[in-house]
Structure 1
Amino acid sequence: MAIAKAERLMNLALCLLGSGRPLSKRDLRTSIEAYLEVTSEDAFNRMFERDKDDLRELGMVIETVESVEGDIGYVARRDRNQLPPVTLDAEEAAALVLAARVWQQARLAGAASGALQKLRAAGMPLAEEEPEGYGALEPRVPAGEAAFEPLMIACRDRRPVTFAYRKSNAAKPESRQVEPWALECWRGHWYLAGFDRDRGAVRVFRLSRIVGRVKSRLGTFTAEVPGQVAVRESVARWAGEHATAQARIRLRVGAGYPLRARATEATPLNEEWDELEIPYGHGLGAWLAEFGPDVIVLEPAELRADVVDRLRAVAKG
């Protein structure tokens, strides 16, 4: 029976840490049982290189040393593979536990859980009970869009991407080439900020409007990434969050809570409709159109026309 990869990696790590001297491939092959099972030299070389890369990716520092005879050896020095003690006060420990509960995406939840397990194994006291003031509410960051994970990885690795994107007033999606900078959740929706190569400008994309797969592309960024990417501020400007003018709308009773939260004035009209005044700025029409038949724009006239045009474009699609 083939020895599990985890056991093979552990044995390789122990050999490299415990030898005290550089070990050649031949030394390692004769010392590790899993390598003895491999009959082909080429297969062994491929397996060893993958294992070595996996250990390095996990954070292990493996040095490649060349002897005076020209032989290549590998060693993992203990002083370079030790971390200083991790110390957290009570508030920091509680913050870590709370943060680990936030993510609901399976991949992220596993990473957060694994981090807590490692801290507990190292003797770090992490309380299981809810932090003080946590109350009956438990925060969550929704990340259900299929585009979230590939874009998160692309932001991390600084890799350009392409995807089909449907604007709120468009019947069909169109292809976009983007250098992704940062992701941020705002008002329950995820947004991506980055450099749009086709338009030669910074753009913000709502993940729920990405259609199909996000494809990663080779190459480097062509635009400089700013030191601080203000995703939320950009979205807020486009949504009229910083507007000074007011719009008057009718909103169906029991619908449109986000609009009610922003309203500066709300008046019940009848059993079916309420009348609201909300801040008006660039991009508000796209947001109002998302509420469909639950919203009727009364004024200003240009906002009403904008929303009607958007709804007609969607209906034609």
Structure 2
Amino acid sequence: MAIAKAERLMNLALCLMNTARPLSKRELRASIEAYRELDGGSDEAFNRMFERDKDDLRELGLIIETAEGGDDEVGYLARRDRNRLPEVALDAEEAAALGLAAKVWQQARLAEAASGALQKLRAAGVPFGEDASDGHLGALEPRIPAHEAAFEPLMIAARDRRPVSFDYRRSNAAQAESRLVEPWALECWRGHWYLAGWDRGRKDVRVFRLSRITSRVRTRSGAFSTEVPDHVDVREAVARWGGEGATSTARIRLRRGAGYPLRAKALETAPVDAEWDELEIPYGHGLDAWLVEFGPDVVVLEPAELRADVVDRLRAVAKG
């Protein structure tokens, strides 16, 4: 929101909340500088701006009433008793959980907002502290890294329901492709951030790993063309790529000292020689894309179709 508009909305809200009687549009226009200085002084331009501002304030949660004003004109006011938030009351455990949530955001723009929110809650008497709960939560220092440049613009676009475009390189592709996406939700899984949304070009739901976005994220005009689901399970979709919930297994050779995520998933591990181990791992949709990321440290033994898929992906990357 532009600063000029934010200031105008704030002034209108203050006028409506600090009047003992309904104010007409004429009175509000005379009281707010931005309305008085409207280019050309057009009544039509003022009426359009006032109606938009009133709708914006209502969308933000301000309860604006209409009543008879002076000279039989319609008047507007926002009663303080109807626009007062209830008292914030959190017990020690709730306060501790909220404090931990605020500590998560150590990067991006949410860090400052989270810190400011905690300060306001402390001023209201909420019992924050290192021992706010059972004495143990204060020692926890959760972190969710958000180093990708695409994180913040995608977070804002998902919040504002705005489509975005960016260049994206799939794991099996040598070149990046342009994507036009309606962003639904972001989620961190195994140290990587993923975006779920509607890919307009492919007319289907897609999940994108932020580290594979190779260009600046550009916000596009217009609204979403599809309805956002009530629940977007990004992690479930990404987990399928990594073989979670698989019904069969695969055998691979893994270089000693490499591929710790694969070792963590292994159902069985056996040494082959001084350089290689042999692993049995769950095999599900998308496992080939995940194995390619480990490059020369992984050799697929079986099944044959998985080995062929991995070889095809590696050849595609090598051609680039």
139, 142, 158: which one pairs with 1:139? Answer: 142
Q: State the percentage of identical aligned residues.
A: 74
| TM-score, normalised with respect to structure 2 | 0.80
Equivalent pair of 2:241/2:290 in contact (CA under 8 Å): no
State the one-letter code of the partner of 1:21.
Answer: R
In the aligned structure 1, how far is the partner of 2:9 from the partner of 2:231?
39
- Within 5 A, what are the aligned runs for 1:219-234? 219-234=222-237
Q: Residue 173 of structure 1: CA displacement?
A: 1.0
155, 170, 174: which one pairs with 1:171? Answer: 174
CA offsets per residue over residues 69-123 of structure 1, 9 Å max, x none? 4767653321122011111122111110011111122311112112111211111
Query: Which residue matches 1:279?
Result: 282
CA offsets per residue over residues 10-42 of structure 1, 9 Å max, x none? 88765543332345688779889xx5xx9x833
State the one-letter code of the partner of 1:216.
Answer: T
CA gap of 1:17–1:68, structure 2 versus 1, over 3 A, is closer
In the aligned structure 2, how far is the partner of 1:293 from the partner of 1:70?
82
CA gap of 1:17–1:188, structure 2 versus 1, over 3 A, is same
In the aligned structure 1, how far is the partner of 2:302 from the partner of 2:308?
10
CA gap of 1:122–1:157, structure 2 versus 1, over 3 A, is same
Question: Is 1:312 aligned to residue 318 of structure 2?
Answer: no
CA gap of 1:6–1:231, structure 2 versus 1, over 3 A, is closer
Query: Which residue matches 1:77?
Result: 79
CA offsets per residue over residues 215-247 of structure 1, 9 Å max, x none? 222333333332222221122223221112222
29, 38, 53: which one pairs with 1:42? Answer: 38
Equivalent pair of 2:163/2:222 in contact (CA under 8 Å): yes
Query: Which residue matches 1:94?
Result: 96
* Greater mean alpha carbon deviation, residues 125-134 or residues 202-211: 125-134
Query: Which residue matches 1:303?
Result: 306
Q: Residue 250 of structure 1: CA displacement?
A: 2.2
Query: Which residue matches 1:197?
Result: 200
CA offsets per residue over residues 292-314 of structure 1, 9 Å max, x none? 22222222232222222222222
User: How many equivalent pairs are there?
Assistant: 310
* Greater mean alpha carbon deviation, residues 18-27 or residues 269-278: 18-27
CA gap of 1:121–1:24, structure 2 versus 1, over 3 A, is farther
- Within 5 A, what are the aligned runs for 1:10-159? 16-23=16-23, 41-42=37-38, 60-61=62-63, 67=69, 69=71, 75-129=77-131, 132=134, 133-134=136-137, 138-159=141-162
In the aligned structure 1, how far is the partner of 2:65 from the partner of 2:147?
41
In the aligned structure 2, how far is the partner of 1:107 from the partner of 1:299?
46
In the aligned structure 2, how far is the partner of 1:158 from the partner of 1:195?
12
In the aligned structure 2, how far is the partner of 1:8 from the partner of 1:299?
66
Query: Which residue matches 2:269?
Result: 266
* Greater mean alpha carbon deviation, residues 121-130 or residues 70-79: 70-79
SS at match of 2:214: strand
State the one-letter code of the partner of 2:285.
Answer: H
Equivalent pair of 2:95/2:132 in contact (CA under 8 Å): no
SS at match of 1:21: coil
Q: Residue 135 of structure 1: CA displacement?
A: 7.8
Question: Is 1:238 aligned to residue 241 of structure 2?
Answer: yes
SS at match of 2:116: helix
Equivalent pair of 2:131/2:137 in contact (CA under 8 Å): no
In the aligned structure 2, how far is the partner of 1:234 from the partner of 1:61?
41
Q: Residue 286 of structure 1: CA displacement?
A: 0.7
- Within 5 A, what are the aligned runs for 1:207-222? 207-222=210-225
Equivalent pair of 1:104/1:141 in contact (CA under 8 Å): yes
Equivalent pair of 1:163/1:215 in contact (CA under 8 Å): yes
| TM-score, normalised with respect to structure 1 | 0.81
State the one-letter code of the partner of 1:177.
Answer: L
State the one-letter code of the partner of 1:188.
Answer: G
State the one-letter code of the partner of 1:17.
Answer: M
In the aligned structure 1, how far is the partner of 2:269 from the partner of 2:82?
64
SS at match of 1:211: coil
CA offsets per residue over residues 236-269 of structure 1, 9 Å max, x none? 2232211122222222333222111111112234
Equivalent pair of 1:165/1:174 in contact (CA under 8 Å): yes
In the aligned structure 2, how far is the partner of 1:122 from the partner of 1:52?
30
